[in-house]
Amino acid sequence: MRRDDRRYLKHANKKKGSELLTVIFITLVLMVSGATVMGFLASNIRNRNERPPREVETPSPEIVYIYYNVWEPSGPTPAPQRPAIQPTENITGEIYQGETELPINGATGWAAVSTPLRTAPNANAEIIHRLAPGNPFVIISEQGNWWYVGFADDVTGWVDNRTCFINLPDILPSIVWRNTNATSSVFASNVRGLPDIYRQPLYNARSFNPRLNRYEYIMPGLYSLGVALHQAQQLAMAEGETLVVNEVFRPFSTQQQVVRGLTDLANEFEDVRLAINYNSWHMGWFIATGVSGHQRGSSIDLSLGYVKSYEYRVSGDFIYLYITNHTPVIMQSRIHELSSLAVIVDNPRTITVTQILNGSVRMSSRVTDGTKRLQMYMAQAGFHPLASEWWHFDHAQSETIGRNSGIRGDFYTESIYSWIPLANYVLGE
């Protein structure tokens, strides 16, 4: 031990001894003066520990939530930049004229259930191989409900695409993809982070994408959902906004992890229980305890952003629009806030697409203009809202496909096979 270290320890020990004498002296004084002072101190400490959280009044005078950390949306509203449909600069390539922004050839897909790989596009064709749930492949071409795909070791064949997912950024590159559950989860309730979940990555879903020549989130979903999502993005961009997608596919194990986290948080904190169960809402409105649309690839969580800048990029033979910068649109709560702070109506009920379109829904006073616009974009594209979560939407056609196919989401999608799309690709070349 160095001399300076010995000197420091000697000084520290002398100081501790002095502090101990001081404590003994104060204790003797308090004992002599009676229990009055001790009673006062104990009462003060007890009252401070039992002090309830401060009450914060929401914009609605008849609703009062109790929570510790208030999240208030703020910030100026920027002037939106409306992306042009046609590129203004000199750029080589063609704009894809289809149901999505880029064609499916070269996109990554996954088997969502045990899926036979067949020699021809019909259910009676010979089975070459059977893909396990979560097995990735590259989509080569399409014929009706069948995809011709390439699997590992140069194995090719046909799969029924109704039992498969597609990587949505591969066909919708203009959308802003932000999967916080793959990087730093924001799941919370009454602004309290869920234990062992909040700010933690829940699964791996980010990789370099050769098709887009950038690192991008891996976002599987049913193709029918992707077609509808393209419509919603076109509506948003016409108003100078963009969809900001937080999550589509969520592994079943992650779903159960969130259920446990929310249950534990509600058991520990009364303010969380109050926020979840306010006005007849209950936990089932905020997280499904069984298989949900997220596991089936038929549900989506998303927000909006104002487009600040964009550019045109090329993938293979095609041009696509890429949003280089955006500003978040103000919503009533943070995304994945699992409590009545996120509801769009004051009382639990089912809301239809028609009700959103004709404006007959009496929305909660907490709902912002941004929430209303998001609801309208998604309803016009055929998505059903969820009354308890402003960010969550279900696509009915995709939900039917997912249920009929028996998709349960008990797998992970951590790798991609994506490559550039070609305009004049001929099967077999």
CATH number (domain holding residue 124): 3.30.1380.10
Contact 191, 71 (CB under 8 A): yes
Instruction: Tell me if 221 is assigned to some domain.
Output: yes
Instruction: Tell me if 120 is assigned to some domain.
Output: yes
Residue 331 sits in the same domain as residue 256? yes
Residue 113 sits in the same domain as residue 13? no
Distance CA 331, CA 344 (A): 11
Q: Name the one residue in this structure whose structure tokens are 């009450």.
A: 55
At 247-300, the pLDDT tens digits run 999 999 999 999 999 999 999 999 999 999 999 999 999 999 999 999 999 999
Task: Quote the distance between the C-alpha of residue 305 and its chain's center.
Answer: 15
CB neighbours of residue 269 within 10 Å: 18
Residue 114 sits in the same domain as residue 43? no
Residue 236 sits in the same domain as residue 300? yes
The closest alpha carbon to 217, from 254, 252, 173, 163, belongs to 173
Residue 106 sits in the same domain as residue 29? no
**Residue 44 corresponds to which amino acid?**
N
Q: Tokens representing 423?
A: 């305009």
Predicted pLDDT of residue 405: 94
Distance CA 285, CA 276 (A): 9
Strand boundaries in 239-295, DSSP class E: 241-247
What's the total number of domains in the chain?
2
Residue 226 sits in the same domain as residue 292? yes
Instruction: Tell me if 45 is assigned to some domain.
Output: yes
Residue 254 sits in the same domain as residue 400? yes
Instruction: Tell me if 75 is assigned to some domain.
Output: no
Residue 107 sits in the same domain as residue 186? yes
Predicted pLDDT of residue 34: 42
Instruction: Tell me if 190 is assigned to some domain.
Output: yes
Instruction: Tell me if 42 is assigned to some domain.
Output: yes
Residue 245 sits in the same domain as residue 354? yes
Instruction: Tell me if 355 is assigned to some domain.
Output: yes
Distance CA 143, CA 121 (A): 7
Residue 98 sits in the same domain as residue 44? no
Residue 28 sits in the same domain as residue 131? no
Predicted pLDDT of residue 425: 64
This prediction has a pTM of: 0.81
Domain that holds residue 190: 94-405
Q: What are the residues facing 318 on neighbouring strands?
A: 94, 315
Q: What are the residues facing 142 on neighbouring strands?
A: 147
Residues 6+ apart with CB under 8 A from 85: 95
Strand boundaries in 174-276, DSSP class E: 176-177, 188-189, 192-193, 206-209, 214-217, 220-221, 241-247
Instruction: Tell me if 77 is assigned to some domain.
Output: no
Q: Is 219 exposed, middle or buried (0-12, 13-18, 19+ CB in 10 A)?
A: buried
Predicted pLDDT of residue 153: 77
Strand boundaries in 153-250, DSSP class E: 156-160, 164-167, 176-177, 188-189, 192-193, 206-209, 214-217, 220-221, 241-247
**Residue 108 corresponds to which amino acid?**
T
Residue 42 sits in the same domain as residue 175? no
Predicted pLDDT of residue 414: 92
Q: Collect the ranges in the chain with pLDDT lower than 50.
A: 1-76, 428-429
Predicted pLDDT of residue 165: 98
Contact 319, 87 (CB under 8 A): yes
Q: Is 142 exposed, middle or buried (0-12, 13-18, 19+ CB in 10 A)?
A: middle
Q: Name the one residue in this structure whose structure tokens are 């990554």.
A: 108
CB neighbours of residue 121 within 10 Å: 18
